[in-house]
Amino acid sequence: MSAAPVWSVDPRTGNPREQVAVEATAEEVDRAVRAAHAVRDALADRAARAAFLRAAAELLEESGAHIVEAADAETALGPARLTGELARTAAQLRSFAEVVDEGAYLDVHIDHQDGSRTPPWPDLRRYKIPLGVVAVYAASNFPLAFSVPGGDTASALAAGCPVVVKAHPDHPATSELCASVLRRAAARTGLPEDVVTLVHGFDAGVELIRHPLVSAAGFTGSVRGGRALFDAAAARPAPIPFHGELGSLNPVVVTGAAAAERAGEIGAGLGGSMTLGAGQFCTKPGFVLVPEGATGDQLLKALTETVSSTGSGVLLDHRMRDAFVAGVRERAALPDVVAPVTPGAAGEHTVSAGFLTVPAARLAAKGPHDALLEECFGPVTVIARYTSVDEIAAVLARLPGNLTATLQTATEGDDPDAARLLAALTPLAGRILVNGWPTGVAVAPAQHHGGPYPATTSTSTSVGATAIERWLRPVTYQSTPEALLPPELREDNPLGLPRRVDGRRA
């Protein structure tokens, strides 16, 4: 039996572009993981890791035009968006180099011997060490920032973990180019190339999560795929952490006061956010509570104008296009659901954006309308019209976990409902926005890109400095002579690390 070919496909035509690789066999996955495991000690040096991440950013930028061209050809996301994503990805690699340089992520704690404690303290010194080989499952919708050179890879390498990436089938050519960039960056900084390896194929992804030498995994994708891998990670003889970002509705609540103040601005802003990247952002606002009545109608008018003037778009692949067309058709057929702008198929390879409306009362209890509370990937959003704040609260209580939740409130004067609604949104998501739109995720230390299940399968973030915490575990040395301690834990702090000593910051 010959190996299964991996084709790069043009979503604008559905035609194969080129054969990029072959799917990895179980033996090849085993070899990749063992090779990664074998070179893990090479990543122990923090300065080398920081240099590697910076070299990767530089080489990514040097190959930028070529990578963007390949990515556009196989994702149809467009050169402008992809050029921006590449810049973001390079900045992300550099930001993790800074995290490594600073060393606060090592979370050094030193407690000196203290016989006065109950029970007495021996000398205890704790920091964090890398978990080992990390499996990264690339996303369809961000071929760079959440794929081969993306946040999971960057944070795992920053932590000192070698990475085996499972490429997404929507952009294998881009994945190969990026893997080559990362491996060249490793070589340029004196590290073994096998600190990053790429594998293709569905079965390879399953092999990877089961491999005994894989210590943790990062995933961005669908609830179905992510849950299957999460289950496999949990079912291992030795379970491993699985940090998956699966799906999110990203609810938005527009208060009466907000609609009265700026219905047009909110409608236009929503239309822009939900159609961005053809509605293929994990942070797309997919469910919006809008007041019944004149101001809500005005909001919908502005939304209608924005969405109607959005050209048809190409989704990442034809399977997604079919799922989108079927998903909006199913939802639009529900009783009392109206489509002021009908989403669905446009040409043979394209889709058009649209939105649905439903009375919020339809969602107050379990029923067929619950389909409207599930993410529908693509350029569609659901507007639930409410008649009271109590009705909003009842609907919010029925929502699953989310990456984001947004409150549109009055910017001038007091909004009587704002505080109550913000309190009702907070349990639902990992990032709460006021008067903004959730698409667009800054790479910053205070960022949190995660949320209650199914938004993520853990309490961690996949964006921002603290994403590094996912790939580390603490270890404490007790009563260990100075000469045997790692330099991070020595009394004179030779590496100048921030630390807590005897319970206080030092």
Strands (DSSP E) contained in 49-139 are 108-111, 124-130, 133-137
273 vs 352 by CB, closer to a copy of itself: 273
To a copy of itself, the closest distance from the beta carbon of 139 in angstroms equals: 17
The residues with which 182 forms a beta bridge, in sequence order, are none
Q: Which of 74, 178, 207, 282 is catalytic?
A: 282
Q: Which of 26, 35, 38, 129 binds a copy of itself (CB under 8 A)?
A: 129
Q: Which is nearer to a copy of itself, 340 or 498 (CB)?
A: 498
Shortest reach from residue 15's CB to a copy of itself, in Å:
33
How far is 287 from 381, CA to CA, in rounded Å? 6
Positions 202 through 241 that interact with a copy of itself (CB under 8 A): 230-231, 234-235, 238-239, 241
Q: State both tokens at 218.
A: 């990062």
Task: Answer for the pair 230, 247: CB distance below 8 angstroms, yes or no.
Answer: no
The type of residue at 313 is: G
Does the active-site annotation cover 161?
Answer: no
Which residues between 412 and 441 bind a copy of itself (CB under 8 A)?
418-419, 422, 426, 429-436, 440
* Torsion angle (degrees, nearest 10) of CA 35, 36, 40, 42: 70
Q: Which is nearer to a copy of itself, 62 or 322 (CB)?
A: 62
Closest CB 491 distance from a copy of itself, rounded Å: 13
**Which CB atom, from 112 or from 319, has the smaller least distance to a copy of itself?**
112
Contact map string, positions 22 to 51, toward a copy of itself, x by CB under 8 A: ------------------------------
- What is the DSSP secondary structure assignment for residue 17, as one 8-state letter? E
Binding status of residue 161 toward a copy of itself by CB under 8 A: no
# residues contacting a copy of itself (CB under 8 A): 77
CA distance 213 to 404: 34
Task: List the interface residues with a copy of itself, window 64-93 (CB under 8 A).
Answer: 84, 87-88, 90-91
User: Which C-beta is closer to a copy of itself: that of 2 or that of 116?
Assistant: 116
Of residues 65 and 444, the one with the C-beta less far from a copy of itself: 444
DSSP letters of 239-291?
Answer: ---EEEE-----EEEE-HHHHHHHHHHHHHHHHHHHHGGGG--TT---EEEEE
Active site residue 282: yes
Contact 181, 149 (CB under 8 A): yes
Restricted to residues 336-365, the positions that interact with a copy of itself (CB under 8 A) are none
The residue from 292, 473, 490, 493 that contacts a copy of itself (CB under 8 A) is 473
Minimum Å gap between C-beta 278 and a copy of itself is 19
Cis peptide before 454 (omega within 30 of 0): yes
* Identity of the residue, 346 or 495, whose beta carbon is nearer to a copy of itself in the bound complex: 495
In terms of C-beta density within 10 A (0-12 exposed, 13-18 middle, 19 or more buried), how is residue 470 classed? buried
Residue ranges in 441-470 that form contacts with a copy of itself under rule CB under 8 A? 442-448, 450, 452-454, 457-459, 461, 465-466
Three-state SS letters, 337-349 = CEEEECCEECCCC
Q: Minimum Å distance from CB 265 to a copy of itself?
A: 15
Phi and psi angles of residue 200, each rounded to the nearest 5 degrees, phi first: -115, 155
For residue 83, what are its two tokens? 């050029």
**Catalytic hit among 28, 245, 391, 488:** 245
Catalytically active residues are: 245, 282
